[in-house]
Amino acid sequence: MVGISGEPCFFASLSLILLMSKIINDLDPIVAMVKDGDTLMLGGFGLCGIPEYSITALLRAGVRNLTCISNNAGVDEFGIGLLLQSRQVKKMISSYVGENDEFERQLLSGELEVELLPQGTLAERIRAGGAGIPAFFTPAGVGTEVAEGKETREFDGKTYLMEQWLKADFSFVKAWKGDEKGNLIYKGTARNFNPMMATAGKIVIAEVEEIVPVGSLDPNHIHTPGIYIDYVFKGDSFEKRIEQRTVKG
């Protein structure tokens, strides 16, 4: 469509974009865009809210030398642990080794490059990447190995450590509900890292448990606006494993 001057009409193009559905039925063509050496963000906290279908698609794709940004790496037989087993991950940027024996083994043997961060620092670096903030200062990690090679500065008599933003080529997130425009609602613990990762990736793929009609989500309850989301995939069922089952005796 063109405007009076013969140039493409911006508003007409925008209208077409807004009408387009972001729902996909197959993850493989999207994951095929991931290249060897890319940086990925994978949402979730422990095994809560992880993009398990996307991880399986990455396994099928066989892409290698990945840098994965995630709070932890799941467990040996589930989540990012599967990518570690298949040796597709070159570097992990995380805050917790977790219950993953293979993650621990590769870390201690030097097979895997690992950048461990305080959990709040990891979250804020991702948030900064999504907000366009190149760096910030935090007291967390001052005087520890976390501070090695990083700039420090004093504010009001206290030393702070400079941390830089984190961004990714692709972000894979998991939500509870979504619509065809990509508006998302997360449930419970899944809100810990998924929302900020959805803002910090160049291409963002959201897995959802339920797709609802546009307009049925209360705008006050939407955690991630659809403007951040490129693709929405509905999983048939999610395992929702428990990382550590604790019962009362």
Position 99 confidence tier, pLDDT thresholds 50, 70, 90: confident
Q: Which residues contact 204 (CB under 8 A, 6 or more apart)?
A: 170, 171, 172, 173, 197, 198, 228, 229, 230, 231
Question: Does the pLDDT of residue 30 top 80, yes or no?
Answer: yes
For 111, the token pair is 């097979």
In degrees rounded to 5, what are phi and psi of residue 158?
-125, 140
CA separation for the pair 11, 37 (Å, rounded): 37
CB 94 within 8 A of CB 43: no
Mean pLDDT for 150-158 is: 97
What digits encode the pLDDT tens for the residues 52-67?
Answer: 999 999 999 999 999 9
Question: Does the pLDDT of residue 221 top 80, yes or no?
Answer: yes
pLDDT of residue 19: 59
Mean pLDDT for 177-201 is: 96
pLDDT of residue 10: 54
Maximum alpha-carbon separation in the chain: 77
pLDDT of residue 16: 47
% of the chain at pLDDT higher than 70: 88
Question: Does the pLDDT of residue 236 top 90, yes or no?
Answer: no
Q: Which domains does the chain have, with CATH numbers?
A: 22-134+167-234 (3.40.1080.10)
> Is pLDDT larger for residue 148 or for residue 15?
148
pLDDT of residue 101: 86
